[in-house]
Amino acid sequence: MECVKIEENRNYSGNGERMKNIDLTRALIEMLVSKSIDDIATDPHRSIRNLVEMGQIFSTGSSQRDFFNACSTMLENEDSAYYNMLENVVAFVDPKKIMTLGINVGYNGCTRGVKRLREYEENTGVRLPWLIYFDLDQKEDGLSEEHFEELVIEANALGVYTFIFRVGSGMIETIAPLIEKLSDSAFILLVNPEDLSDEDIHTVSGLDNILVSLGTEAEEQSDALFARCTKLHYHKCPYAVHLFYDSDSIPQVLNDTWVKSVEPTGTIFSFLFPRFSVTPNQIEQIRSYVLDIRAAQEYPFIMMEAETDIDVIDTVIATGPASVGLTADGFLFRNNDRKPAADVRTVSLQEALAEITKTSDTVSTEGEKE
Residue range 192-196: mean pLDDT, rounded: 97
Residue range 110-120: mean pLDDT, rounded: 83
- How many Å is the Cα radius of gyration of the chain? 20
Q: Is 261 helix (H, G, I), strand (E, B) or coil?
A: helix
**Angle at the Cα of 210 from the Cα atoms of 310 and 293, rounded to 5 degrees:** 40
Query: Would the CA dihedral through 111, 113, 116, 121 be positive or negative?
Result: negative
Residue range 20-45: mean pLDDT, rounded: 64
Q: Is 128 helix (H, G, I), strand (E, B) or coil?
A: coil
DSSP conformational letter for 350: H
pLDDT higher than threshold 60 for residue 108 = yes
Residue range 291-313: mean pLDDT, rounded: 93
pLDDT higher than threshold 50 for residue 196 = yes
Contact partners, residue 3, CB within 8 Å, separation at least 6: 348, 350, 351
Please, which pLDDT band fits residue 14 given cuts at 50, 70 and 90? very low
Write down the domain spans for the chain: 15-76, 80-362
Neighbours of 157 (CB within 10 A): 18
What pLDDT digit, counting tens, does each position of 43-96 carry?
A: 767 777 777 777 776 666 655 666 677 777 777 788 889 888 888 888 899 989
Residue 213 parent element (H or E) = strand 210-215
The reported pLDDT for the residue numbered 67 is 65
Q: Are 130 and 323 in contact (CB under 8 A)?
A: yes
The reported pLDDT for the residue numbered 19 is 47
Please, which pLDDT band fits residue 1 given cuts at 50, 70 and 90? very low
Query: Helices 306-317 and 280-296 sit at what angle, rounded to 10 degrees?
Result: 80
Task: Provide CATH code, domain 80-362.
Answer: 3.20.20
Parallel, antiparallel or unpaired: strands 302-305 and 324-326: unpaired
Please, which pLDDT band fits residue 116 given cuts at 50, 70 and 90? confident
- CA separation for the pair 99, 224 (Å, rounded): 29
The pTM of the full predicted model, rounded to 2 decimals, is: 0.83
Q: Is 162 helix (H, G, I), strand (E, B) or coil?
A: strand
The most distant pair of C-alpha atoms in the chain lies apart, rounded to whole Å, by 56
pLDDT higher than threshold 70 for residue 148 = yes
The reported pLDDT for the residue numbered 33 is 66
Instruction: Determine which of 111-115, 139-143, 278-282 has the lowest per-residue pLDDT on average.
Output: 139-143
Query: Helices 44-58 and 62-74 sit at what angle, rounded to 10 degrees?
Result: 170
- CA separation for the pair 31, 36 (Å, rounded): 9
pLDDT higher than threshold 50 for residue 9 = no
More confident residue, 155 or 340: 155
